[in-house]
Homo-oligomer: A and B are copies of this chain.
Amino acid sequence: MYQVNDNYQKLPGSYLFSTIGKKVNAFTEANPEKSIIRLGIGDVTQPLAPAIIEALHKAVDEMANAETFRGYAPDLGYEFLRSAIAKNDYEARGCNITADEIFVSDGAKSDSGNIQEIFSVNNKIAVCDPVYPVYVDSNAMAGRTGTYDMAAEKWSNVIYMPCTRENNFVPEFPKETPDIIYLCLPNNPTGTTVTKAQLQEWVDYANKVGAVIIYDGAYEAYISEEDVAHSIYECEGAKTCAIELKSFSKNAGFTGVRLGYAVVPKELKCGEVSLHSMWARRHGTKFNGAPYIVQRAGEAVYSEAGKAQLKEQVAYYMKNAATIKNGLQDAGYEVYGGVNAPYIWLKTPEKMTSWEFFDYLLENANVVGTPGSGFGPSGEGYFRLTAFGSYENTVAALERIKAL
């Protein structure tokens, strides 16, 4: 008789955003006359930029003719896209990353979930707390996280690095040495980040203790401060200890288009074993490439027109971020983030738990946010709002919150 992977049975509840979706659906069914404003899940709302639309139409037309039709993509992604990434995201920033170190994927969520596969199940992971749930959940599914303590809301075999107002949201080196360190910077959900000098300390630490850093840079396009690194490879020595994951979802509005990439430097080795070769094998065995038309859309992100249009799109969302941040501060809330990231992280008022504040906001302001505790135990007492709504909705949501 076959058996299932019993690690799945250890997982608590269901995936955070599915739970929120169910709560919101129940509320709207019970209150069909109420107009909900969603500043919860980090989903973009602005249309694709004209340069991207043009590239998509052109690629679709290519698929209509036998002479220009494209079947299976090259394993690592099309050269035209990998070269554009290498040139714009790395070479332009002085990072020595070449096109053949870049693996095109269907998005950073897949990469974030899958990257753990190339490591031993005996490795111990360290995560910022709070953080994007996929890192811990995907490791839990693989049996790397021990058992879940419902009361503490923690796994027995995960190193949690609290990021709270007490340490200015900067993770400290853990007492116990981790094998795999997940860093999402600028951070989801807190919207905060670290300076380049602080990131360099993490790179030095990883190289010293023999840990690998999984660096999720999904929000890189929203960085506005000068002393913040746009890639971990801006730090000395990162190529021997870090894998970087990037997404087109937030910088180009691709949440429904699906495109991302992973950088696995050729210098990154565990003894004699090349992690680049391992990821290439994984990619070649279990994945068949992002769609051709989507890879062409990704290329257009790096065109002159695309870059100009997306700079405006990011500015649009960051105007929302300022609106939320200032509005909440005016209303007396304690607020973080929103400067280098499209997320606002607020302290819940009057000792409300995160989920109490979620219900309070949904019921009284009809605004959907994300409970901080859904991102880890140290997120308890915090709440996330995103800048990805329309400007009109964002202003309206803040008017409602201020009126509470």
Contacts and interface: CB of A to CB of B under 8 A. Distances in A.
Interface of A: 1-6, 8-9, 11, 14-15, 18, 41, 43-48, 50, 53, 56-57, 60-61, 63-66, 69-73, 75, 106-107, 109-110, 113-114, 117-123, 133-134, 137-138, 141, 179-180, 209-212, 255-258, 270, 273, 275, 278, 281-282, 284-294, 390
28 contacts: A1-B270, A2-B211, A3-B119, A3-B123, A4-B118, A4-B120, A4-B270, A4-B273, A18-B75, A44-B71, A47-B66, A47-B69, A48-B63, A48-B64, A57-B60, A71-B255, A72-B256, A106-B106, A113-B286, A133-B285, A134-B285, A137-B285, A255-B288, A256-B289, A257-B291, A258-B288, A258-B289, A293-B293
Given A65-B47, A117-B141, A210 B286 contact: no
Given A273-B9, A292-B257, A119 B44 contact: no
B119 A278 contact: no
Contacts of A106: 106, 258, 287-288
Determine which residue in A110, A117, A291 has the highest number of CB atoms from chain B within 10 A of its CB, and name it.
A291
Tally of this chain's copies = 2
B72 A46 contact: no
A256 B70 contact: yes
Determine which residue in A47, A57, A73, A180 has the highest number of CB atoms from chain B within 10 A of its CB, and name it.
A47
A179 B289 CA distance: 30
Nearest to A282: B141
A15 B281 contact: yes
Contacts of A256: 63, 69-73, 289, 291-292
B286 A120 contact: no
Given A2-B212, A5-B278, A107 B47 contact: no
Contacts of A75: 18
Contacts of A113: 285-287
Nearest to A116: B5
A55 B141 CA distance: 37
A288 B109 contact: yes
Contacts of A270: 1-4
A53 B210 CA distance: 51
Contact of A6 (B3, B65, B120, B257): B120
Contact of A45 (B4, B66, B212): B66
A204 to B, nearest CB: 16
Contact of A46 (B66, B257, B294): B66
Contact of A2 (B18, B71, B119): B119
A118 B293 contact: no
